[in-house]
Amino acid sequence: MRTLKGPGVFLAQFAADEAPFNTLDGLAGWAAAKGFKGVQLPTWDRRVIDIERAAASQDYVDEIVGTVAAHGLVVTELASHLQGQLVALHPSFDLPADSFAPPELRGNPAARQQWAVEQLRACAVASRRFGIDRHVTFSGTLLWPYLYPYPQWPDGLIDDGFDELARRWRPLLDAFDAEGVDLCYEIHPTEDLHDGLTFEMFLERVDNHPRCNIMYDPSHLVLQSIDYLGYIDAYHERIRMFHVKDAEFRPTAKTGAYGGYQPWLRRAGRFRSPGDGQVDFGAIFAKLAGYDFDGWAVLEWECCLKNPEDGAAEGAKFIADHIIRVSERAFDDFVKSGADRALNRRILGY
């Protein structure tokens, strides 16, 4: 068994245009003061990192490493959720997701997709330059508008959608493999990979690619009424990253999983700060430790109620308090008699 690393924090939700949140140095100092030991970098935010430059220049990567190290931190992983979304985007999301791409590419889906593919390739190279062996992204959305089978799906629609998803991602999985980096998909509603079965359908189509893995976030499973502890049992061999994010799901007589088009505060399923929702993190940390998870426990803070400063400070302590420093020996070793095959045979009666 191994002791999880942490606490880390995903900087995406905290980066802003005002100091100290508008530079990596400012964010790193803020994170260290909150009690974090690592930072996960959103590669779409140039206030934090220029991913093309990171792919091209080891000196630039070393500069980033030095910036966070000056605050006693390390870079845990890189994240490319927005770019991953654009690798496979249904036309119905063209306008809502257009802002994920540079201004000169907006309104041009083909150019936008090609840009996203190149961004993922840059993330693979940059991760290797950082000495990081795992990366998180989104799968994208080709089939989400057809989540509910009415109007009835045309024959073969789902199979064709997953075939196309695999066709787009297989070259990127190979690119990450060439750099020695796992590509971890965040299992997330609105993504085609949103639960265990959809991950399996995709994994089969990419021939069980060794770099096709999972970023585990229990909050998204709670909102789908999925057994988030059993999920670890089922997929622990593919779980390579971990976001610590809490949620609560409290259906009423008026609304449930779909949310009734309500804002977060009025939805049955809501994200909460760690410890304020329904997730049993004690059990999660125990399972991950038992399955020899060797990654970081990273706070992704999203809460419809709490102030982010309080959420960050409480989140760092919450993670630190939940990390299990695993034992190097069994608790009952003091009564162990040692290996004695002759004694074993006598005990068994032969």
Nearest residue to 136 via CA among 239, 4, 249, 54: 239
Instruction: Indicate the pairing of strand 269-272 with strand 246-249.
Output: antiparallel
255: containing domain: 5-348
Mean pLDDT of 316-323: 98
- Give the pLDDT confidence score for residue 330 in this predicted structure: 55
How many alpha carbons fall within 13 Å on the CB side of residue 250?
A: 11
- Give the pLDDT confidence score for residue 337 in this predicted structure: 62
Q: Tell me how many domains the chain contains.
A: 1
Contacts of 142 (CB under 8 A, 6+ apart): 88, 89, 90, 161, 164, 165, 192
User: Cα separation of 86 and 77, whole Å?
Assistant: 20
Digit-coded pLDDT (tens) for 42-75: 999 999 999 999 999 999 999 999 999 999 999 9
What's the CA angle centered on 280, arms 282 and 292, to 5 degrees? Answer: 45
Residue 332 confidence class, pLDDT cut points 50, 70, 90: low
If you write DSSP's letter for every residue of 314-329 in order, what string do you get? Answer: HHHHHHHHH-----SS
The pTM of the full predicted model, rounded to 2 decimals, is: 0.94
Residue 340 confidence class, pLDDT cut points 50, 70, 90: confident
What's the CA angle centered on 78, arms 29 and 104, to 5 degrees? Answer: 100
Q: Two tokens at 295?
A: 């990654």
User: Cα separation of 338 and 230, whole Å?
Assistant: 35
Q: Two tokens at 98?
A: 């257009």
Whether residue 95 has pLDDT greater than 70: yes
User: Cα separation of 43 and 49, whole Å?
Assistant: 6
Digit-coded pLDDT (tens) for 146-185: 999 999 999 999 999 999 999 999 999 999 999 999 999 9
Q: Which carries the bigger pLDDT value, residue 310 or residue 340?
A: 310
User: Cα separation of 17 and 114, whole Å?
Assistant: 28
Residue 199 confidence class, pLDDT cut points 50, 70, 90: very high
Mean pLDDT of 292-308: 97
The phi, psi pair for 198, rounded to 5°, reads -70, -35
Find the CATH number of the domain harbouring 206: 3.20.20.150
User: Cα separation of 233 and 236, whole Å?
Assistant: 6
